[in-house]
Amino acid sequence: MKFHFESLDHLDLVSGTSYLMDFGTINSQQDAALAEGKLLSAFGQPAFTSVNCENSFNYVIKATSEDGNTAILSVYNMGMVHIGAGQANDFTLSAAHALVEYVNSFAPADYERTIYYLDFNLQIDVQVKNGKVMINQSQIPPEKADALFMEMYPPF
């Protein structure tokens, strides 16, 4: 089955979705960085970005089949790249597999970003340039980690 994919800016469309499958085979931070670069090439900027490693981006993707049926998928990063959907059925699984194939047909865009993994007080600098990934990790001081934690997880 063939699909047309469209990136949407409506995060409300993916509220209530849950994990459907991994975004292909991603075994390392380098694989995840390349997947993010390919998503940038395929769809541009995501609907949501954050410096939080456990929730650094979210794409809202509308998949439309040749017969006009649609599925709304989320592609998100929680350390690794995953696909979510409102329901797991044969149609959404077909759409998700086709999405991975579609995105992987793109060369990764060049980009740089810094994310923070506060479970271990790490700053992770990611750079993709000409298809090559460079990742540098460094410890951040506890005071900076505390400030970032309050920014990412403000009290109610």
Supply the mean pLDDT for the chain: 93
Q: How far is CA 19 from the centre of its chain?
A: 12
If asked whether residues 40 and 86 sit together in one domain, one would say yes
The whole-angstrom separation of Cα 49 and Cα 29 is 17
| Shared-domain flag, residues 12 and 46 | yes
- Counting the structural domains of the chain, the total is 2
Q: What is the pLDDT of residue 62?
A: 96
Same-domain check for residues 82 and 43: yes
Residue 12, pLDDT score: 82
Question: First-to-last CA distance in the chain?
Answer: 46
For 18, 58, 78, 127, the CA distances from 153, given in Å and listed in that order, are 21, 18, 15, 26
Task: Tell me the residue range of the domain where 29 lies.
Answer: 3-104
Of 38, 75, 30, give the one whose Cα is nearest residue 56.
75
Q: In this structure, are 96 and 119 located in the same domain?
A: no
pLDDT at residue 79 greater than cutoff 80: no
Q: 116 and 89 in one domain?
A: no
Same domain? For 90 and 43 the reply is yes
Residues 6+ apart with CB under 8 A from 1: 65, 66, 94, 98
Domain shared by 23 and 48, yes or no: yes
What is residue 121's three-state secondary structure?
A: coil
Q: Tell me: the pLDDT tens digits for 12-66?
A: 888 778 899 999 888 899 999 999 999 999 999 999 999 999 889 999 999 999 9
Q: Are 90 and 148 in the same domain?
A: no
Question: Same domain, yes or no, for 79 and 116?
Answer: no
